[in-house]
Amino acid sequence: MGKVGLGFRRDIADEFLENESFTPDFIEFAPENWMGMGGYWKKVLDKAAERYPITCHGLSLSIGSPEALDYHFLKDLKQFLKEYQVSIYSEHLSYTKSKNAHLYDLLPVPFRDDAIKHIVSRIKEVQEILERKIAIENVSYYVTPGAEMDEATFVKAIVEEADCELLLDVNNVYVNAFNHGYDAIDFINKMPLDKVSYIHMAGHEKVSDDLIIDTHGQPIIDPVYELFDSTLRKMNPVPVLLERDFNFENFDAIVEEFGQLKSITHKAWEVNHVS
Amino acid sequence: MYLNKSTIDIQTQLASYCRTGQEQEIEKVSQERVKHYRRLVFSNVKNTLETAYPITLEWLSDDEWLKLVNDFFEMHDAQSPKIWELPKEFMEFVTQNKYAATFNKPALNNLLLVEWVEIEVHTMMDKEWPAVEARGEVLLLTPEYQLLHLDYPVHIFNGDDAQDKKGDWFIYIFRNRETDGVQFLNISALHVFVLEKLYETPLTLDDLLPIISAVFGLNDMKTLQNHLKTFFSDLRKKGALLSKIA
Ligand SMILES: [Fe+2]
């Protein structure tokens, strides 16, 4: 119950393989950053895979793109997920490819009915090809191109109609609520919490009075811990991941943050599931 | 296709703004905030290329480098779903579009190639060891490698100095099986021939000698044998030759 993991990255690979005082319950990485690679990094990955269960968080599927899915990539991905016995494969509810070009970042999809239908059909297709359910993540976004509905309506409709799982990123909920002026708890309450199979937690950076950027480079702030705590009490236990993409100098602080997540998780879910 | 044209247009406009940085009206998009997308998307690509090409980055002026990155991201449709493979597309783009001539830096293509191939050899999928007949002392080379033929010795000299030394330069780039590190070896045309032969079929030194002697018209077998022994013992020391020398 209450498994907590940390994102596996090259900069901190040693901490996962050699630091005896730090043992996450599982690790997560982007398949795109390791697929089709041999040599030194393959050995490092294989060592980590021997030691930890794995979840994968994709970057390039581009589920929200107008263009066709990349079937060649999906075939390689399927093989990779199988080879590393990946328990959860998640992707972002966004697009990163346009007009046959990758942009390698997450752009917000218009919150519209036609986009819901389009994305639902693509998730179904991906699930059929991969022969598994995928978890779709609520992303942070700073603009709302062509929006005709709110985010909660959009996300909920997609998860329910596609019959996929939801990766609930609690920090993203906080960031989006702040940036777009909605209530974070209200958003969580609107989510199909029975579909949540995975949770993300992370830090962010406030760049101006009215804008937070989701950087994954800072410590988690208290209000996000509070939102996390209250969310856990509304749902069944699922794995929780601490996302940290840079600023690893003070690794002890990250270990501490990790411990904090573990303790909140245990408290929330022990109380709820004693019977 | 469920998407309406207007939704597709909005998505295309946002992506194209991120690639070009040229502002345009997009429905319900704040001009102030959308700038962060261009900044984040562009710096991600720029950082990836700067990590892949540290020597090129240092050699070119800031303006030249920025022009390459900007032109590439704007004009080239990135194909690989893996961002770590993007530098290869960058090298091909710069070469095909003749920036070496534009900047009057003829060694540019060679430098990008060498920097990319170092990454390629480091990351290439592990290869099977060649099947070898169990006879004699076969010369078995590490299977992850590349042989390059350059016009400028950018693997030895800095860009400016390399440009004064136009010629035929050969490099053997290989992955050491034990350390997984990548090594460069400046070699001769004869060595290239030897390595190519051995990568076709692993041979013994005795098999190899008559072939080399015929192709290069070298009749002093003793000298040739000594020369090759020295070459192979160097390869053995550096981790390229996996078998012992006969
Ligand atoms: Fe996330």
| DSSP conformation letters of A33-66 | GTTT--HHHHHHHHHHHHHS-EEEE-SS--TT-S
CATH number of A4-271: 3.20.20.150
Q: Which residues are paired to B182 by β-bridges?
A: B175
B169 CA to middle of ligand 1, Å? 48
Q: What is this structure's pTM? A: 0.95
Question: Of the given ranges (A259-263, B93-97, B201-205), which has the lowest mean pLDDT?
Answer: B201-205
Residue A125 contacts B where some CB pair is shorter than 8 Å:
no
Residue among B28, B45, B180 minimizing CB distance to A104: B45
Residue A142 contacts B where some CB pair is shorter than 8 Å:
yes
CATH number of B125-246: 3.90.930.50
- Across residues A135-156, what is the average pLDDT? 98
pLDDT of residue A272: 54
pLDDT of residue A271: 61
The domain spans of chain B are: 1-105, 125-246
Q: Does B15 score more than 50 pLDDT?
A: yes
pLDDT of residue A275: 44
**Interchain pair B123, A147: CB under 8 A:** no
pLDDT of residue A171: 98
Distance between CA atoms of residues B59 and B104, nearest Å: 13
- Across residues A83-103, what is the average pLDDT? 98
pLDDT of residue B34: 97
Q: For A10-69, how does the pLDDT look when each residue is reduced to its tens digit (9 = 90+)?
A: 999 999 999 988 989 999 999 999 999 999 999 999 999 999 999 999 999 999 999 999
Q: For B166-183, how does the pLDDT look when each residue is reduced to its tens digit (9 = 90+)?
A: 999 999 999 998 899 999
- Across residues A79-86, what is the average pLDDT? 98
Element at A177 (helix H, strand E)? helix A170-180
The domain spans of chain A are: 4-271
Judged by CB atoms within 8 Å, which residues 206-225 of A form the interface with B?
207, 211, 213
Tally C-beta pairs within 8 A across A and B: 146
Q: Does B86 score more than 50 pLDDT?
A: yes
Local confidence band at A1 (pLDDT 50, 70, 90 cut-offs): low
Please name the CATH architecture into which domain B1-105 falls: Orthogonal Bundle (1.10)
Q: Does B52 score more than 60 pLDDT?
A: yes
Residues in B touching A41 (Cβ below 8 Å): 123
Percent of chain A with pLDDT over 90: 93
Residue A180 contacts B where some CB pair is shorter than 8 Å:
no
Question: Of the given ranges (A91-95, A225-229, B113-117, B140-144), which has the lowest mean pLDDT?
Answer: B140-144
Residues in A touching B89 (Cβ below 8 Å): none
Give the CA distances from residue A142 to residues A186, A193, A209, A214, in Å, rounded to whole numbers and listed in that order. 19, 24, 14, 10
Distance between CA atoms of residues A245 and A162, nearest Å: 30
Q: Does B1 score more than 90 pLDDT?
A: no
| Chain B CA closest to residue A97 | B15
A169 CA to middle of ligand 1, Å? 5
What is this model's ipTM?
Answer: 0.95
- Across residues A200-224, what is the average pLDDT? 95
Judged by DSSP in three states, A147 sits in coil
Judged by CB atoms within 8 Å, which residues 231-270 of A form the interface with B?
none
Give the CA distances from residue A121 to residues A100, A222, A228, A255, B147, in Å, rounded to whole numbers and listed in that order. 20, 38, 31, 40, 47
Percent of chain A with pLDDT over 70: 98
**B202/B198: higher pLDDT:** B198
Residue among A33, A102, A110 minimizing CB distance to B84: A33
Mean pLDDT of chain A: 96
A198 CA to middle of ligand 1, Å? 10
A248 CA to middle of ligand 1, Å? 18
